[in-house]
Amino acid sequence: MDINLTGRTAVVTGGSKGIGLAVVRGLAASGARVITGAKSRSPEIEELTRDKQVTFAQVDLGEPDGPARLVAMAGDRVDILVNNVGSARARPGGFLTITDEDWAASLTLNLMAAVRTTRAALPGMLTAGAGVIVMTCSVNARLPDPAVLDYSAAKAALAGFAKALSKEVGPHGIRVNTVSPGPVATDLWLGSDGVASTVSRATGARPGDIQSQAAAQSLTGRFSQAAEIADLILYLVSDEAANITGSDFTIDGGLVPTL
Protein backbone atom coordinates (compact mmCIF):
# COMPACT_ATOMS: atom_id res chain seq x y z
CA MET A 1 0.00 0.00 0.00
CA ASP A 2 1.36 3.41 -0.99
CA ILE A 3 0.82 5.75 1.96
CA ASN A 4 1.16 9.43 1.16
CA LEU A 5 1.59 11.79 4.12
CA THR A 6 3.05 14.72 2.20
CA GLY A 7 2.30 18.04 3.84
CA ARG A 8 1.59 16.58 7.27
CA THR A 9 3.51 17.17 10.48
CA ALA A 10 4.13 14.30 12.86
CA VAL A 11 5.52 14.17 16.39
CA VAL A 12 7.01 10.88 17.61
CA THR A 13 8.19 10.34 21.17
CA GLY A 14 11.11 8.02 21.79
CA GLY A 15 12.24 8.09 18.17
CA SER A 16 15.98 7.49 18.46
CA LYS A 17 15.85 3.68 18.40
CA GLY A 18 13.61 0.63 18.26
CA ILE A 19 9.97 1.01 17.27
CA GLY A 20 10.13 4.80 17.44
CA LEU A 21 13.05 4.97 15.02
CA ALA A 22 11.23 2.66 12.60
CA VAL A 23 8.13 4.89 12.82
CA VAL A 24 10.18 8.03 12.16
CA ARG A 25 11.80 6.37 9.16
CA GLY A 26 8.43 5.25 7.76
CA LEU A 27 6.73 8.62 8.27
CA ALA A 28 9.58 10.48 6.58
CA ALA A 29 9.61 8.03 3.68
CA SER A 30 5.88 8.69 3.27
CA GLY A 31 6.45 12.42 2.96
CA ALA A 32 5.67 13.69 6.46
CA ARG A 33 7.70 16.27 8.32
CA VAL A 34 8.76 14.54 11.53
CA ILE A 35 9.76 15.97 14.89
CA THR A 36 11.03 13.39 17.33
CA GLY A 37 12.70 13.42 20.70
CA ALA A 38 14.42 11.10 23.13
CA LYS A 39 16.78 11.27 26.07
CA SER A 40 19.75 10.19 23.98
CA ARG A 41 20.80 10.33 20.35
CA SER A 42 21.70 7.38 18.18
CA PRO A 43 23.75 7.08 14.98
CA GLU A 44 20.58 6.02 13.16
CA ILE A 45 18.59 9.11 14.10
CA GLU A 46 21.57 11.30 13.29
CA GLU A 47 21.58 9.78 9.81
CA LEU A 48 17.87 10.51 9.37
CA THR A 49 18.21 14.14 10.45
CA ARG A 50 20.50 14.79 7.49
CA ASP A 51 17.24 14.90 5.58
CA LYS A 52 15.58 18.15 6.67
CA GLN A 53 12.25 16.29 6.93
CA VAL A 54 13.35 14.91 10.30
CA THR A 55 14.17 17.04 13.34
CA PHE A 56 15.53 15.48 16.52
CA ALA A 57 15.47 17.01 20.00
CA GLN A 58 17.45 15.58 22.87
CA VAL A 59 14.82 15.85 25.57
CA ASP A 60 13.89 13.92 28.69
CA LEU A 61 10.26 12.99 28.10
CA GLY A 62 9.97 11.86 31.69
CA GLU A 63 10.33 15.46 32.86
CA PRO A 64 7.02 17.32 33.29
CA ASP A 65 7.87 19.95 30.64
CA GLY A 66 9.72 17.65 28.22
CA PRO A 67 6.71 16.58 26.11
CA ALA A 68 5.41 20.14 25.69
CA ARG A 69 8.85 21.35 24.61
CA LEU A 70 8.97 18.64 21.96
CA VAL A 71 5.49 19.43 20.63
CA ALA A 72 6.33 23.16 20.51
CA MET A 73 9.02 22.38 17.94
CA ALA A 74 6.29 21.31 15.50
CA GLY A 75 4.76 24.77 15.35
CA ASP A 76 1.08 25.60 15.43
CA ARG A 77 -0.25 22.28 14.22
CA VAL A 78 0.42 18.58 14.71
CA ASP A 79 -1.40 16.29 12.29
CA ILE A 80 -0.03 13.01 13.64
CA LEU A 81 1.09 12.13 17.16
CA VAL A 82 2.73 8.81 17.95
CA ASN A 83 3.12 8.34 21.69
CA ASN A 84 5.80 5.69 21.59
CA VAL A 85 8.24 6.33 24.42
CA GLY A 86 8.26 3.71 27.15
CA SER A 87 10.42 1.44 29.24
CA ALA A 88 10.10 -2.00 30.84
CA ARG A 89 12.26 -3.28 33.67
CA ALA A 90 12.17 -6.97 34.47
CA ARG A 91 11.28 -7.67 38.12
CA PRO A 92 12.73 -11.13 38.79
CA GLY A 93 12.48 -10.54 42.53
CA GLY A 94 8.72 -10.11 42.42
CA PHE A 95 6.26 -7.49 43.61
CA LEU A 96 7.88 -6.80 46.98
CA THR A 97 11.09 -5.65 45.30
CA ILE A 98 9.33 -2.93 43.29
CA THR A 99 9.84 0.35 45.12
CA ASP A 100 7.76 3.52 45.01
CA GLU A 101 10.51 5.01 42.85
CA ASP A 102 10.20 2.08 40.42
CA TRP A 103 6.43 2.55 40.25
CA ALA A 104 6.79 6.28 39.68
CA ALA A 105 9.33 5.77 36.89
CA SER A 106 7.15 3.21 35.11
CA LEU A 107 4.01 5.33 35.34
CA THR A 108 5.84 8.47 34.28
CA LEU A 109 7.39 7.10 31.10
CA ASN A 110 4.70 4.61 30.05
CA LEU A 111 1.64 6.73 30.89
CA MET A 112 2.29 10.33 31.87
CA ALA A 113 4.64 11.05 28.96
CA ALA A 114 1.75 10.16 26.62
CA VAL A 115 -0.73 12.17 28.68
CA ARG A 116 1.51 15.25 28.64
CA THR A 117 2.42 15.00 24.94
CA THR A 118 -1.24 14.60 24.03
CA ARG A 119 -2.20 17.54 26.22
CA ALA A 120 0.28 19.70 24.32
CA ALA A 121 -0.71 18.53 20.81
CA LEU A 122 -4.48 18.25 21.19
CA PRO A 123 -5.49 21.95 21.18
CA GLY A 124 -4.09 22.40 17.68
CA MET A 125 -5.88 19.28 16.47
CA LEU A 126 -9.16 20.51 17.95
CA THR A 127 -8.74 23.87 16.20
CA ALA A 128 -8.05 22.10 12.90
CA GLY A 129 -10.87 19.62 13.41
CA ALA A 130 -8.55 16.79 12.44
CA GLY A 131 -5.70 14.70 13.77
CA VAL A 132 -4.51 11.19 14.52
CA ILE A 133 -3.02 9.85 17.74
CA VAL A 134 -1.51 6.39 18.08
CA MET A 135 -0.22 5.01 21.39
CA THR A 136 2.36 2.23 21.48
CA CYS A 137 0.80 0.04 24.14
CA SER A 138 1.59 -3.63 24.90
CA VAL A 139 0.00 -7.05 25.12
CA ASN A 140 0.84 -6.79 28.81
CA ALA A 141 -2.03 -4.32 29.18
CA ARG A 142 -4.39 -7.33 29.03
CA LEU A 143 -1.90 -10.14 29.57
CA PRO A 144 -0.29 -8.87 32.79
CA ASP A 145 3.00 -10.51 33.68
CA PRO A 146 4.50 -10.45 37.18
CA ALA A 147 7.94 -10.33 35.57
CA VAL A 148 7.05 -6.79 34.37
CA LEU A 149 4.33 -6.03 36.90
CA ASP A 150 4.58 -2.23 37.09
CA TYR A 151 5.00 -1.99 33.31
CA SER A 152 1.87 -4.11 32.81
CA ALA A 153 -0.14 -1.85 35.11
CA ALA A 154 1.13 1.30 33.40
CA LYS A 155 0.27 -0.03 29.94
CA ALA A 156 -3.21 -1.03 31.11
CA ALA A 157 -3.67 2.57 32.24
CA LEU A 158 -2.42 3.80 28.86
CA ALA A 159 -4.96 1.60 27.06
CA GLY A 160 -7.76 2.99 29.24
CA PHE A 161 -6.60 6.55 28.64
CA ALA A 162 -6.56 6.05 24.87
CA LYS A 163 -10.01 4.46 24.77
CA ALA A 164 -11.61 7.18 26.89
CA LEU A 165 -9.89 9.93 24.90
CA SER A 166 -11.10 8.44 21.61
CA LYS A 167 -14.71 8.82 22.84
CA GLU A 168 -14.16 12.46 23.78
CA VAL A 169 -12.37 13.67 20.65
CA GLY A 170 -13.84 11.39 17.96
CA PRO A 171 -16.76 13.74 17.29
CA HIS A 172 -14.19 16.51 16.70
CA GLY A 173 -12.45 14.71 13.84
CA ILE A 174 -9.59 13.23 15.85
CA ARG A 175 -8.84 9.53 15.83
CA VAL A 176 -7.11 7.69 18.72
CA ASN A 177 -5.90 4.09 18.56
CA THR A 178 -3.42 1.82 20.32
CA VAL A 179 -1.00 -0.73 18.93
CA SER A 180 -0.08 -3.54 21.32
CA PRO A 181 3.04 -5.51 20.42
CA GLY A 182 4.23 -8.68 22.06
CA PRO A 183 8.00 -9.10 22.41
CA VAL A 184 9.87 -7.06 19.81
CA ALA A 185 13.49 -7.45 18.76
CA THR A 186 14.61 -4.13 20.30
CA ASP A 187 16.80 -3.06 23.23
CA LEU A 188 13.80 -3.23 25.57
CA TRP A 189 14.06 -7.00 25.34
CA LEU A 190 17.52 -7.66 23.93
CA GLY A 191 19.72 -4.77 25.11
CA SER A 192 22.37 -4.99 27.83
CA ASP A 193 19.79 -3.79 30.39
CA GLY A 194 16.85 -5.42 28.65
CA VAL A 195 14.47 -8.05 29.95
CA ALA A 196 16.53 -11.04 28.75
CA SER A 197 19.78 -9.81 30.32
CA THR A 198 18.10 -8.77 33.57
CA VAL A 199 16.44 -12.17 34.00
CA SER A 200 19.72 -13.83 33.03
CA ARG A 201 21.63 -12.07 35.79
CA ALA A 202 18.96 -13.02 38.33
CA THR A 203 18.59 -16.67 37.34
CA GLY A 204 21.87 -17.71 35.72
CA ALA A 205 20.12 -18.73 32.51
CA ARG A 206 21.66 -17.58 29.25
CA PRO A 207 20.04 -14.49 27.67
CA GLY A 208 19.68 -16.35 24.39
CA ASP A 209 17.77 -19.16 26.10
CA ILE A 210 15.45 -16.64 27.78
CA GLN A 211 14.82 -15.00 24.43
CA SER A 212 14.12 -18.36 22.80
CA GLN A 213 11.67 -19.35 25.53
CA ALA A 214 9.81 -16.06 25.12
CA ALA A 215 9.69 -16.41 21.34
CA ALA A 216 8.40 -19.97 21.62
CA GLN A 217 5.26 -18.72 23.40
CA SER A 218 4.13 -17.12 20.12
CA LEU A 219 2.53 -19.24 17.43
CA THR A 220 5.02 -17.89 14.91
CA GLY A 221 7.94 -18.76 17.18
CA ARG A 222 9.67 -15.41 16.86
CA PHE A 223 9.75 -11.83 18.07
CA SER A 224 8.17 -9.11 15.97
CA GLN A 225 10.47 -6.69 14.18
CA ALA A 226 10.32 -2.94 14.83
CA ALA A 227 9.55 -2.29 11.16
CA GLU A 228 6.48 -4.54 11.38
CA ILE A 229 5.08 -2.47 14.24
CA ALA A 230 5.89 0.72 12.36
CA ASP A 231 4.05 -0.48 9.25
CA LEU A 232 0.89 -0.99 11.30
CA ILE A 233 1.20 2.45 12.87
CA LEU A 234 1.76 4.01 9.45
CA TYR A 235 -1.47 2.48 8.21
CA LEU A 236 -3.40 3.73 11.24
CA VAL A 237 -2.25 7.34 10.77
CA SER A 238 -3.08 7.29 7.05
CA ASP A 239 -6.32 8.20 5.30
CA GLU A 240 -6.82 4.52 4.50
CA ALA A 241 -7.76 4.06 8.17
CA ALA A 242 -10.03 7.11 8.28
CA ASN A 243 -12.90 5.34 10.05
CA ILE A 244 -10.82 3.47 12.61
CA THR A 245 -10.76 4.92 16.12
CA GLY A 246 -11.00 3.69 19.68
CA SER A 247 -9.42 0.38 18.69
CA ASP A 248 -6.47 -1.67 19.85
CA PHE A 249 -4.38 -3.66 17.38
CA THR A 250 -2.38 -6.61 18.66
CA ILE A 251 0.75 -7.68 16.82
CA ASP A 252 2.27 -10.53 18.81
CA GLY A 253 2.59 -13.59 16.59
CA GLY A 254 -0.37 -15.18 18.34
CA LEU A 255 1.01 -14.81 21.88
CA VAL A 256 -2.31 -13.76 23.43
CA PRO A 257 -4.45 -16.92 23.46
CA THR A 258 -7.85 -15.24 23.89
CA LEU A 259 -10.05 -12.94 21.84
Is 151 among the residues known to form the active site?
yes
How many C-beta atoms surround the C-beta of residue 204 within 10 A? 7
Question: What is the rounded CA–CA span in Å between residue 114 and residue 133?
Answer: 10
User: Distances from the Cα of 230 to the Cαs of 22, 33, 86, 237, in angstroms?
Assistant: 6, 16, 15, 11
Largest CA distance in the chain: 55
Q: Which of 56, 151, 189, 249 is catalytic?
A: 151
| Beta-ladder partners of 248 | 178
Question: What is the rounded CA–CA span in Å between residue 190 and residue 197?
Answer: 7
Cβ atoms of 25 and 142 within 8 Å: the answer is: no
User: Distances from the Cα of 128 to the Cαs of 52, 107, 121, 122, 173, in angstroms?
Assistant: 25, 30, 11, 10, 9
Cβ atoms of 62 and 40 within 8 Å: the answer is: no
Q: Which residues are tagged catalytic?
A: 151
